[in-house]
A and B are shown apart, each in its own frame.
Chain A
């Protein structure tokens, strides 16, 4: 009933997005010989194996940490929970460098092992890949499980203690049902993320025994220049992600617990050895998360003033690609979230579909599509901007969609009855009311784009390396001090961008 100023914009935008995601896949399918030969079973087996182990390990380690955080109150608890969000924003290459400093051949862990007379551990291969995935995803799992714990009404725990339940009874009758509802979803999300693992496999995996499908795509395209093989692998990856994506949409994430009146209470906090165990779990997890970050700072700080000039150029290039990608993602996510709030169905599909294709799959499709017309390397930065904007879109949309919906529910009627013009709606209603989630979504998109080491590796030549790729090259040349300093620069820029956008949003909010 309300007049839309530009009624065709949202459908056109949604269809353009779908074309941008599905077009490269169609190019892959059309590649001669792509669909015929047998898939690369070794890469497929390793991909599924490492993703399964990573998901199981992340979730298993997250349960005791989430429980300890749910039932203990201590100074700095909020800071600990905030810290758990950091690995999601951490550029993968920085995480790898930090883990190398702690668990590498001459790292802290091996120094300790040597001192007490134990054989050293190696971080390369399957267990290195899984270790890095656990480092990046265990905090995410913890936050999901923790919110499951917090969703249990305090009345349940009160009832349990009035019935004289011990910790074991509470676990069995109250906490286990919640875990059964939350864990499959958490594990599946991490499994899906790890299926598309590229940068970690590139740095810690490799070789016949530890190559993911994504890494194999990169190798066929960059080293063997076997285009049909690359297309075949990309289709395999596409099928893998699509299956996981479909499974994820079928699995209901939030557990159906009744509403609680009192949200301040938590699970009972038993004393004695439980207390010691919880403190140990929190301390060990924090050490695991913070040690690699500390290592980067310690190792990178001295070299920060004497960074080679190409690092600064690469940093400028990274900013020049991350900022346009951020603006694209944020504008698209906001437009689609508002349309979604008005009840259209297409925007949610268009905004979520990028989850089903990895950025290397998109990159390979675009590489093959562009090659007949221009040298793909000449478009490295535009393609990186587009693919990174797409990759962050599902997350930005998920942040904005619920808030846009409640804005619509609360004020659409009033704005319509006052006949507010589109410009007035944007200026006085949408921008102020959605400033906070928009700033957060923009910060997330900026940090993800800044740290991405995926499609740029496919397209870059000597003149278009971004900062993450430059760090990878420094590592390859065994210039580890320069790499650590550049990594410190990268993580500082990523977190600063996130902080700047998030703060802008907070300040603009009423």
Chain B
């Protein structure tokens, strides 16, 4: 269980609080106006922002001070998710083993992940030669290989068109189900939340509210969400 225990995050004059928990395998959308603190929340869980108060625990273990690379977390950012000068396979290999060594069997696992994400045969291509949709698939393939218990996504597909984005969310659902990862997806689009996430965290007015069921929330929005949705 991921527990955000009376968490306070500050960045300049901006302040965000969160006090809730989420279970392994949950798929949660993080919804709210831009500048509301959605990315800030993800940064703190990933370990790039130290909380000013409170604790973050995973399965009872305090990870508040754990360095980002040692957390049970994979994160996809809005951009710069991959190394454009390396091949697809090398990008995946660095996700598996952050040292220079590859374990026996890694190559096979990489091939399988490529096939699984519709990238079969593209392992030797340089990343910069891939389309935006293919790059999104590589990033998801890496998350699949890493199979960390928490998967964080900070609008990595925002630049894709509607059809491609829908493909990505389908693939993401597959991967989240297969790895049984707790998945938090930041989005500003309520349709993403409906498509992907049974649960939604609403981030407004400096508070990341506890997860609630997505469909009832969107059908019957509280005033702050209604103002954002314009309905």
On A, residues with C-beta under 8 Å from B are: 1-3, 410-411, 413-414, 416-421, 423-424, 427-429, 432-433, 510
Contacts and interface: CB of A to CB of B under 8 A. Distances in A.
Best-surrounded residue of B50, B98, B128 (most CB of chain A within 10 A)? B98
Interface in B144-176: none
B77 to A, nearest CB: 7
A413 B94 contact: no
A424 B100 contact: yes
Contact of A1 (B68, B83, B90, B100): B68
A429 B68 contact: no
A413 B99 contact: no
Contact of B68 (A416, A424, A427, A432): A416
A417 B80 contact: no
Contacts of B82: 414
Closest 10 CB pairs of A and B: A419-B69, A510-B85, A421-B99, A419-B98, A420-B98, A416-B68, A432-B85, A417-B68, A410-B80, A417-B75
A413 B67 CA distance: 12
B217 interface: no
Given A424-B94, A428-B94, A432-B85, A2 B80 contact: no
9 contacts: A414-B82, A417-B46, A417-B47, A417-B68, A418-B69, A419-B98, A427-B100, A433-B85, A510-B85
Contacts of A3: 67
Given A2-B67, A419-B69, A413 B98 contact: no
Contact of A419 (B50, B70, B83): B70
A237 B223 CA distance: 72
Contacts of A411: 80, 83
Contacts of A418: 69, 94-95, 98
Nearest to A432: B85
Given A2-B69, A414-B83, 20 more contacts: A1-B48, A1-B67, A410-B80, A411-B80, A414-B81, A416-B67, A416-B68, A416-B69, A417-B46, A417-B47, A417-B68, A418-B95, A419-B68, A420-B98, A423-B99, A424-B98, A428-B83, A428-B86, A428-B90, A510-B126
Contacts of B67: 1-3, 416, 419
B215 to A, nearest CB: 32
Nearest to A418: B98
B47 A414 contact: no
Q: Per DSSP, are chain B's interface residues mostly helix, strand or loop, or mixed?
A: loop
A432 B87 CA distance: 12
Contacts of B48: 1, 413, 416-417
Contacts of B94: 418, 420, 424, 428
Given A2-B67, A2-B68, A416-B69, A421 B98 contact: yes
A414 B80 CA distance: 7
B84 to A, nearest CB: 8
A466 to B, nearest CB: 39
B4 interface: no
A2 B67 CA distance: 6
B115 to A, nearest CB: 22
A339 B160 CA distance: 36
Contacts of B69: 2, 416-420
A417 B100 contact: no
A417 B73 contact: yes
Given A424-B94, A424-B98, A413 B85 contact: no
A325 B82 CA distance: 36
A431 to B, nearest CB: 10
A352 to B, nearest CB: 30
B47 to A, nearest CB: 7
